[in-house]
Amino acid sequence: MKAVCPVCKLEVALPDDVVEGEVIEHDCGVVLEVKVSNGKVELKALEGILEDWGE
Protein backbone atom coordinates (compact mmCIF):
# COMPACT_ATOMS: atom_id res chain seq x y z
CA MET A 1 0.00 0.00 0.00
CA LYS A 2 1.25 3.48 -0.81
CA ALA A 3 0.26 7.07 -0.09
CA VAL A 4 1.71 10.46 -0.89
CA CYS A 5 3.67 12.57 1.57
CA PRO A 6 1.81 15.92 1.77
CA VAL A 7 5.09 17.77 2.30
CA CYS A 8 7.56 16.38 -0.25
CA LYS A 9 4.91 14.78 -2.53
CA LEU A 10 6.88 11.55 -2.81
CA GLU A 11 5.23 8.16 -2.47
CA VAL A 12 5.44 6.55 0.96
CA ALA A 13 5.21 2.78 1.38
CA LEU A 14 2.78 1.83 4.14
CA PRO A 15 2.75 -1.42 6.10
CA ASP A 16 0.05 -3.92 5.14
CA ASP A 17 -1.45 -3.71 8.61
CA VAL A 18 -1.54 0.08 8.67
CA VAL A 19 -3.80 1.54 11.37
CA GLU A 20 -5.65 4.84 11.58
CA GLY A 21 -3.53 7.22 13.64
CA GLU A 22 -0.29 5.34 13.00
CA VAL A 23 2.80 7.50 13.02
CA ILE A 24 5.25 7.16 10.14
CA GLU A 25 8.62 8.88 9.97
CA HIS A 26 9.30 9.72 6.35
CA ASP A 27 12.71 10.04 4.76
CA CYS A 28 12.09 13.71 4.05
CA GLY A 29 12.20 14.32 7.81
CA VAL A 30 8.50 14.88 8.38
CA VAL A 31 6.55 12.82 10.91
CA LEU A 32 3.32 11.74 9.25
CA GLU A 33 0.04 10.49 10.65
CA VAL A 34 -2.18 8.01 8.83
CA LYS A 35 -5.73 9.17 8.23
CA VAL A 36 -8.46 6.92 6.87
CA SER A 37 -11.38 8.64 5.20
CA ASN A 38 -14.09 6.74 3.28
CA GLY A 39 -11.80 3.74 3.09
CA LYS A 40 -9.04 5.82 1.56
CA VAL A 41 -5.69 6.08 3.32
CA GLU A 42 -4.06 9.49 3.40
CA LEU A 43 -1.07 11.00 5.13
CA LYS A 44 -0.98 14.22 7.09
CA ALA A 45 1.89 15.97 8.85
CA LEU A 46 1.61 15.15 12.56
CA GLU A 47 0.65 18.18 14.62
CA GLY A 48 -0.45 18.94 18.13
CA ILE A 49 1.29 16.23 20.16
CA LEU A 50 3.34 18.30 22.58
CA GLU A 51 3.93 15.99 25.49
CA ASP A 52 5.42 12.56 25.80
CA TRP A 53 6.37 9.80 28.19
CA GLY A 54 9.38 8.25 26.45
CA GLU A 55 11.74 5.39 27.04
For another protein, the binding residues (CB under 8 A) are: 17, 19-23, 33-35, 46, 48-55
Nearest distance in Å: CB 33, another protein: 6
Contact 29, 14 (CB under 8 A): no
- Residue in 52, 11, 54, 53 with CA at minimum distance from that of residue 32: 11
- Residue 36 CB, nearest distance to another protein (Å)? 8
> Which residue lies nearer to another protein by CB, 6 or 33?
33
Nearer to another protein, 4 or 21 (CB): 21
Residue 26, classified by CB atoms within 10 Å of its CB into exposed (0-12), middle (13-18) or buried (19+), is: middle
